[in-house]
């Protein structure tokens, strides 16, 4: 039995790397689907378990919708403004009878699995020699860039349904980064 190593999943902190990663996801016959899954994760902070269960009827002709998060069972409003163009173009490629927004490659009656999308992410990450990518990278990257832009940990904490600011900052890797950055220039003598 092959032993799998656990990776420490991190946000993508470099916009050039982020764009390269998105371009890598865009290869193959399901590239458009894979990029849209990733971009929805990047622009909403949703977990992969919630993204894969989005139905066509949830989003068709809408700029926002509500879902119940699988992990927390809390209602969450999802805003699609940042991915509306890609979403509309993608919807136009789907069969009229398709239920799931992101269907399984082999069976349109089922949605893509979290594990299947993890493997897609790993393939793209390996080709770019990135060793910190997993399904939570989308959510962590969203949080990282949201915090970098707004410095609003309270709102981010609410978006993530976290119980404290320290959990949110640790989750998006800000704490480690800030410690590293402050200590590299710190001198007592």
Alpha-helix runs per DSSP H in 26-164:
31-44, 48-51, 56-59, 84-91, 114-127, 136-150, 153-160
* Residue 171 annotated as catalytic: yes
Annotated catalytic residue 81: no
Per-residue pLDDT, averaged over 133-147, amounts to 97
Catalytic residue, from 16, 71, 75, 184: name it. Answer: 71
Of 139, 140, 144, 147, which one is the catalytic site residue?
Answer: 139
- pLDDT exceeds 60 at position 20: yes
> How many residues appear in the chain?
189
Question: What's the confidence (pLDDT) of residue 5?
Answer: 61
- Of the residues 47, 53, 111, 140, only one is catalytic, namely 47
pLDDT of residue 32: 96
- Reported confidence tier of residue 7, pLDDT bands at 50, 70, 90: confident
DSSP SS3 for 101: coil
Domain boundaries 15-133, CATH class: mainly alpha
Q: What is the Cβ-side half-sphere exposure of residue 59, based on CA atoms within 13 angstroms?
A: 28
Instruction: Reply yes or no on whether 5 is catalytic.
Output: no
178 pLDDT above the threshold of 80: no
| pLDDT tens string 88-119 | 999 999 988 889 999 998 888 999 999 999 99
| CA distance linking residue 103 with residue 29, whole number of Å | 13
Q: What is the mean pLDDT of residues 54-77?
A: 96
Catalytic site includes residue 32: no
Is 71 part of the annotated catalytic residue set? yes
Q: What is the mean pLDDT of residues 10-35?
A: 96
Q: Cβ(21)–Cβ(124) under 8 Å?
A: yes
């Amino acid at each position: 039995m092959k032993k799998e190593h656990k990776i420490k999943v991190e946000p993508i902190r470099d916009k050039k790397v982020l764009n390269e990663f998105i371009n890598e996801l865009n290869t193959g016959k399901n590239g458009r689907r894979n990029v849209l899954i990733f971009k929805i994760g990047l622009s909403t902070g949703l977990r992969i378990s919630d993204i894969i269960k989005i139905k066509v009827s949830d989003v068709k002709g809408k700029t926002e919708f509500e879902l119940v998060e699988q992990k927390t069972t809390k209602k969450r409003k999802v805003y699609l403004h940042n991915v509306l163009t890609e979403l509309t173009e993608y919807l136009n490629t789907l069969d009229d009878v398709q239920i799931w927004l992101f269907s399984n490659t082999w069976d349109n009656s089922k949605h893509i699995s979290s594990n299947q999308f993890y493997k897609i992410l790993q393939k793209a990450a390996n080709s770019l020699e990135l060793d910190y990518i997993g399904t939570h990278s989308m959510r962590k990257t969203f949080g990282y860039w949201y915090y970098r832009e707004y410095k609003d940990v309270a709102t981010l904490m609410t978006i993530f349904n976290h119980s404290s600011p320290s959990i949110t900052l640790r989750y998006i890797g800000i704490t480690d980064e800030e410690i590293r950055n402050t200590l590299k220039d710190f001198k007592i003598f």
